[in-house]
Structure 1
Amino acid sequence: MCTPFIRNHQYNLIKKQTKFVLHTLRTVADRRVLETVRYSAATNIIEAFPSLTENHKQMLEQISTFETAEDFQRYLSELEPYLESYPTITLKQIQKLFPKNKKLKVPDLQLIDYRNITYLSWIDIASNKLFIIYPYEGQLFGIEGRITPTHKKGYCMFCNRHQELAFFYVKTKNVNVSPDNISAVGQYVCLDNLECNRSITDTAKLERFILSVRK
């Protein structure tokens, strides 16, 4: 039985590194350069995990031994059973995260592939609001804010992907900013949050943002 230990963003990183190594194999003849790239890819993957068993470490390090596209595809396929799913979440849990929003519209939770998301999010077109739910240290944090398409491409703060952006504007309480204790934080994020989830390889910036606006 496989014990899941790979989170979505870590799997995205592994896919990115396999793509890089395969590209190097196809375009670089110098074996010294290739070995350096292999070593770098394996190191980057291992460093993405706070802790690993020896078996899991050896499994991931196999990336440094492959030669063909079929090898890399098999490697990724064999890792899929080890993907750690996003925590189970119910409609009632979501409603409790946004108690002030009495007309909260939630996507069909049964249609979501929870192994392939780092954060759950959706846009309510009617209110121009983006909702994000992120699991952190055993808790679920929910934030909501206005979202405005920029109709321009740039780098998303969450996934660092160059894509069409929207400006996400979140109000938060802060006693040091204004008399009514209200301040705001804004960031440019992917307009397409599904692609963002498929691209994110590091959660540090996402977590900083979530923690900075939590109530």
Structure 2
Amino acid sequence: MFKPFIRNHQYNLIKKQTGLLQHACNTVSDPKVVEAVRYSAQSKIMEALPDANEHQKQTLEKVSTLNTAGEFHHYLSSLEPYMTEFAHVTEKQIKKLFPKIKKLKIPELAEIDSRYVTYLGWIDIATNKLFLVYHLNGQLVGVEGKYTLANKKSFCLLCNRHEEVAFYLVNTKSKPANASPDYYKAIGNYLCVNSETCNKNITDVTALEKFIHDVG
């Protein structure tokens, strides 16, 4: 019986490190250099999953034995059953996160493979808004903000990859104790226009969680 323990962003990191090792095996002639890349890949994978038990560690550590394209492919495929799903969320729960949006457009949840989701993100063209939904410390949270297409590639705050981005501007919910009723503070950052692409790239949730905390 497989017990899922690898989150989407961790699987992306494993895939990235495995790709770097495969590239080294295919292109580098110096065995010492290949072994250095092999050690680095294994170390970064293990560091990303510090809570893995002994069986899980043994499964992950098999990366150190890979050499051929077939072995690399099999390794990644063998990890897929261990991927955890983005915790189930209903349309009703999402609408409750954004009570002020009367005609909230929600993605087709049944069509999403939740194993490959770190956060739910979608654009509502009608309201010119980008919505994010994430499980933070066991609680479902939602963020909404205005987006402006940048019409260029730049680094996304969340996945740190060079992709097509939009400038995302969010009004923070928290206010200083003595703030006037009309006080507001906005935080802006570049985010991937395509959240599906971002979910395929993201290897660390630190920036995502800090952003959600900052605007909360």
Normalised-by-shorter TM-score class: over 0.9
Report the TM-score, using the length of structure 2 for normalisation: 0.96
Give 1:99's aligned residue: 99
Say if 2:13 is the partner of 1:33.
no
| 1:21 shift after superposition | 0.3
Amino acid at match of 1:194: E
- Say if 1:167 and 1:188, in contact at 8 Å, map to a contact too: yes
- Say if 1:174 and 1:181, in contact at 8 Å, map to a contact too: no
Within-5 A mapping of 1:69-108: 69-108=69-108
Give 1:212's aligned residue: 214
Amino acid at match of 1:26: N
| 1:50 shift after superposition | 3.3
Say if 2:6 is the partner of 1:18.
no
Within-5 A mapping of 1:97-176: 97-176=97-176
Distance in 1 of aligned mates of 2:114 and 2:120: 9
Give 1:181's aligned residue: 183
| 1:173 shift after superposition | 3.1
Give 2:199's aligned residue: 197
Deviations 1:44-64 (A, max 9, x none): 001111311011111101111
Deviations 1:16-67 (A, max 9, x none): 0111000000111111111111010000001111311011111101111111
Give 1:59's aligned residue: 59
**SS in structure 1 opposite 2:212?**
helix
Amino acid at match of 1:175: K
Amino acid at match of 1:86: F
Distance in 1 of aligned mates of 2:151 and 2:50: 38
| 1:174 shift after superposition | 3.9
- Say if 2:174 and 2:215, in contact at 8 Å, map to a contact too: no
- Say if 1:173 and 1:181, in contact at 8 Å, map to a contact too: no
Distance in 2 of aligned mates of 1:34 and 1:146: 46
| 1:152 shift after superposition | 1.3
Distance in 2 of aligned mates of 1:172 and 1:178: 13
Any gaps of 5 or more consecutive residues in structure 1?
none
Percent sequence identity over matched residues? 53
- Say if 2:156 and 2:162, in contact at 8 Å, map to a contact too: yes
Distance in 2 of aligned mates of 1:185 and 1:112: 29
Instruction: Name the count of aligned residue pairs.
Output: 214
Report the TM-score, using the length of structure 1 for normalisation: 0.97
Distance in 2 of aligned mates of 1:191 and 1:93: 24
Distance in 2 of aligned mates of 1:50 and 1:93: 31
Distance in 2 of aligned mates of 1:27 and 1:178: 60
Alignment root-mean-square deviation, CA: 1.1
Give 1:2's aligned residue: 2
Distance in 2 of aligned mates of 1:127 and 1:24: 47
